[in-house]
């Protein structure tokens, strides 16, 4: 079972996931979304880096809690460039001093609501760090409307190399990959409401349904119909 709610940290989302033995075979893959997560599982604090392909959670019964940072913001709070964590799940002790992580781990373990404890941890961290670059927020907003990368770079006053470098640090990959990830998420949101796949492709900015199908296979590793649990 999965549930989420908005966090008090701007743009972030708190979520919980329970994997039970009876439903383990139906665990859905986690798809690229431009985000990074702070995770709690089995007494451990972890960080999920930005994905470029589907991540399939383990199927053993487990309780998870997480805080999903808004795209491009996690490196500011965590103090590590996103590209160093691309397609990885790492213990927080790999990023922060072990003594600090032990103290934080004990605090989350004592909380009756681990997701809320993660939120408090992130909020405290945010008070001691500069705010995320607002330019990157504008980049995400522009690309999420389907604006071309080159036009967006011009509007932001950035050269192609500078935009790519800043994107690697913030998102873990370049702006073109970010644009594709955001387009995929737009398409999935439409398809999940029952919009036919051909219309989904057109409304999301794909050249055609075949283009959408190729992107879904590349990012998710399966056809769109299988991903959504229905036919095309």
The pLDDT of residue 230 is above 60? no
Give the per-residue pLDDT at 86.
97
Give the per-residue pLDDT at 141.
95
- Computed over its alpha carbons, how large is the radius of gyration of the chain? 18
Q: Average of pLDDT values for 185-191?
A: 97
The pLDDT of residue 159 is above 50? yes
Q: Average of pLDDT values for 99-123?
A: 97
Q: Average of pLDDT values for 102-106?
A: 97
Q: Average of pLDDT values for 144-156?
A: 93
227 vs 57, 125, 192, 214, 230, CA distance in Å? 15, 36, 10, 13, 8
Give the per-residue pLDDT at 24.
52
Task: For residue 74, give the nearest of 5, 154, 172 by alpha carbon.
Answer: 172
The pLDDT confidence band at residue 231, using thresholds 50, 70 and 90, is very low
Tokens of 179: 């644009």
- Rounded Cα gap, residues 185 and 35, in angstroms: 12
DSSP state of 145: T
Q: Which is more confident, 24 or 154?
A: 154
Q: Average of pLDDT values for 70-85?
A: 96
Give the per-residue pLDDT at 52.
95
pLDDT tens for each residue of 194-221: 999 999 999 999 999 999 999 999 999 9
Tell me the pLDDT of the chain averaged across its residues. Answer: 93
Residue 54 · residue 221 · CB < 8 Å: yes
Element (H, E) at 46: strand 44-48
Give the per-residue pLDDT at 66.
97
- Rounded Cα gap, residues 178 and 167, in angstroms: 8
Q: Which residue has the tokens 């760090």?
A: 129
DSSP state of 227: H
CA 84 remoteness from chain centre: 15
Residue 66 · residue 39 · CB < 8 Å: yes
Give the per-residue pLDDT at 26.
64
Can you tell me whether residue 56 is helix, strand or coil? coil
The pLDDT confidence band at residue 232, using thresholds 50, 70 and 90, is very low
187 vs 26, 54, 137, 192, 195, CA distance in Å? 22, 16, 21, 9, 9
The pLDDT confidence band at residue 186, using thresholds 50, 70 and 90, is very high
pLDDT tens for each residue of 19-55: 775 555 566 789 999 999 999 999 999 999 999 999 9
34 vs 24, 88, 230, CA distance in Å? 26, 14, 26
Domains, the chain: 2-127 (no CATH), 134-228 (1.10.10.60)
């Amino acid at each position: 079972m999965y549930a989420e709610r908005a966090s008090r940290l701007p743009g972030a989302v708190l979520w919980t996931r329970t994997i039970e033995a009876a439903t383990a075979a139906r665990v859905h893959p986690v798809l690229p979304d431009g985000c990074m997560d702070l995770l709690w599982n089995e007494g451990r604090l972890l960080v999920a880096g930005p994905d470029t392909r589907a991540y399939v959670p383990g199927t053993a019964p487990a309780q998870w809690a997480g805080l999903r940072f808004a795209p491009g913001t996690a490196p500011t709070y965590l103090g590590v460039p996103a590209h160093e964590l691309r397609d990885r799940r790492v213990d927080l002790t790999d990023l922060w001093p072990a003594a600090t992580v032990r103290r934080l781990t004990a605090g989350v373990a004592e909380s009756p609501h681990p997701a809320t404890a993660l939120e408090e941890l992130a909020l405290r961290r945010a008070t001691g760090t500069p705010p995320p670059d607002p330019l990157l927020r504008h980049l995400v907003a522009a690309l999420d409307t389907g604006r071309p990368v080159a036009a967006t770079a011009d509007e932001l006053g950035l050269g192609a190399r500078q935009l790519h470098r800043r994107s690697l640090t913030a998102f873990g990959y370049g702006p073109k990959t970010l644009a594709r990830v955001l387009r995929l998420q737009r398409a999935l949101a439409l398809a999940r409401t029952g919009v036919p796949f051909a219309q989904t492709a057109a409304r999301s900015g794909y050249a055609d349904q075949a283009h959408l199908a190729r992107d879904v296979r590349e990012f998710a590793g399966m056809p769109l119909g299988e991903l959504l649990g229905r036919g095309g």
